[in-house]
């Protein structure tokens, strides 16, 4: 671990392997009610559920090459499907409702990561990765841009920004009025004021994820102290609310995403290529619905 001493990791804590031997893990979501973790294996075309006793089971297969997931304000799982270009919500009876699939009669690129805010709106990023054979189903792009969208509480889809290279991870700020978005190929994190459903005011670049090691801005979240955690070169980079790099948390494989878990929300569950890891932190993450 590198950077300024910031007491981010709990004393004596080390990185632990939770699950290994998978293909490309992503999209972790914590269920505090059951102490379980749901996450995707994109290349495996499956969503898994890791129970509190450590037993790993299939949650949904096929998953349509699902990537990021979150829980909405009612606790329902909302997922990004690379293979179908859809945002889907799992209903109480287990059926899937399609929340978004097209923009102006064109298929979305491949929804990648998703977050719900306190108003009931759902925000998601739409890069092209799921249209590559490596991460989904190879097929031509129908849209001429890669954007960030918002599904308003009334179900209407809004295009909020269309000037990204490859938008990826995203999260909501402490006040519920700030949206942070990773732009993977540009290696930076942008931040916006949320002016309403689908309405963003650009505040420019929040931070640049720099370093010589493997990794790029991907999963992105805030902890309860307002620090910004972002996948990046060398692992997970932790920034202060003023964008000062505090520390880089290293893992045996390149980190793709993460979420807070455990009874005290002090356990960081990290999806990293073929595995899931965990690391005990000194301060808690943020509680659902902003945690995933």
Backbone angles phi, psi at 101, to 5 degrees: -150, -20
Alpha-carbon distance of 64 to 178, in angstroms, equals 31
| pLDDT confidence bin for 6, thresholds 50/70/90 | low
pLDDT of residue 289: 67
Backbone angles phi, psi at 186, to 5 degrees: -90, -5
Mean pLDDT over 238-243 rounds to 96
Residue 194's nearest CA partner among 158, 154, 240, 167 is 158
| pLDDT confidence bin for 7, thresholds 50/70/90 | confident
Exposure string of 154-171, with b = 16+ CB inside 10 Å and e = fewer, is: eeebbebbeebebbbbbb
- Averaged pLDDT score across all residues of the chain: 94
pLDDT of residue 5: 46
pLDDT over 70 percentage in the chain: 97
* Count of positions (residues) in the chain: 292
pLDDT of residue 174: 82
Contact in structure between 29 and 40 (CB atoms under 8 Å): no
Contact in structure between 1 and 236 (CB atoms under 8 Å): no
pLDDT in tens, 136-177: 999 999 999 999 999 999 999 999 999 999 999 999 998 889
Mean pLDDT over 238-257 rounds to 96
Mean pLDDT over 261-266 rounds to 96
Contact in structure between 281 and 269 (CB atoms under 8 Å): no
| pLDDT confidence bin for 4, thresholds 50/70/90 | very low
Residue 285 has pLDDT above 60, yes or no: yes
pLDDT in tens, 192-238: 999 988 899 999 999 999 998 899 999 999 999 999 999 999 999 99
Close Cβ partners of 219 (under 8 Å, ≥ 6 residues apart): 26, 68, 113, 168, 169, 182, 230, 231, 236, 255, 256, 257, 258, 271
Mean pLDDT over 243-270 rounds to 97
pLDDT in tens, 86-141: 999 999 999 999 999 999 999 999 999 999 998 899 999 999 999 999 999 999 99
pLDDT of residue 280: 97
Close Cβ partners of 37 (under 8 Å, ≥ 6 residues apart): 28, 29, 30, 31, 49, 50, 259, 261, 269, 276
Residue 22 has pLDDT above 80, yes or no: yes
Residue 2 has pLDDT above 50, yes or no: no
pLDDT of residue 176: 87
More confident residue, 60 or 1: 60
User: How many C-beta atoms lie closer than 10 Å to residue 249's C-beta?
Assistant: 23
Question: What does pTM read for this prediction?
Answer: 0.95
Alpha-carbon distance of 71 to 117, in angstroms, equals 10
In CATH, what class is 2-280?
mainly beta
Residue 291 has pLDDT above 70, yes or no: no
- Exposed/middle/buried for residue 250 (C-beta within 10 Å: 0-12, 13-18, 19+): middle
């Amino acid at each position: 671990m590198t950077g300024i001493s910031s007491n981010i990791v709990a004393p004596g804590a080390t990185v632990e392997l939770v699950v290994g031997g998978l293909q490309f893990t992503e999209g972790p979501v914590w269920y505090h009610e059951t102490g379980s973790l749901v996450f995707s294996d994109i290349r495996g075309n499956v969503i898994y559920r890791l129970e509190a006793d450590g037993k790993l089971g299939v949650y949904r297969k096929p998953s349509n090459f699902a990537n990021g997931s979150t829980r909405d304000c009612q606790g329902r799982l909302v997922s990004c499907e690379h293979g179908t270009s859809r945002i889907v919500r799992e209903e109480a009876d287990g059926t899937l409702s399609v929340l978004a699939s097209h923009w102006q009669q064109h298929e979305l690129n491949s929804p990648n990561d998703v977050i719900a805010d306190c108003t009931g709106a759902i925000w998601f990023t739409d890069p092209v990765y799921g249209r590559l054979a490596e991460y989904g189903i190879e097929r031509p792009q129908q849209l001429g841009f890669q954007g960030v969208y918002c599904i308003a509480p009334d179900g209407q889809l809004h295009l909020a920004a269309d000037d990204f290279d490859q938008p990826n991870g995203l999260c909501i700020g402490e006040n519920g009025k700030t949206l942070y978005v990773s732009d993977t190929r540009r290696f930076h994190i942008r931040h916006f004021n949320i002016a309403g459903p689908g309405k963003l005011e650009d505040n420019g670049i929040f931070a640049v994820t720099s370093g010589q090691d493997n990794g790029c801005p991907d999963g992105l979240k805030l902890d309860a102290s307002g620090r910004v955690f972002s996948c990046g070169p060398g692992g997970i980079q932790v920034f202060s609310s003023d964008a000062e790099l505090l520390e880089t948390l290293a893992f045996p494989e390149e980190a793709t995403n993460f979420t807070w878990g455990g009874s005290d929300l002090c356990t960081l569950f990290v999806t990293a290529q073929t595995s899931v890891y965990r690391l005990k932190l000194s301060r808690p993450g943020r509680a659902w619905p902003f945690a995933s």
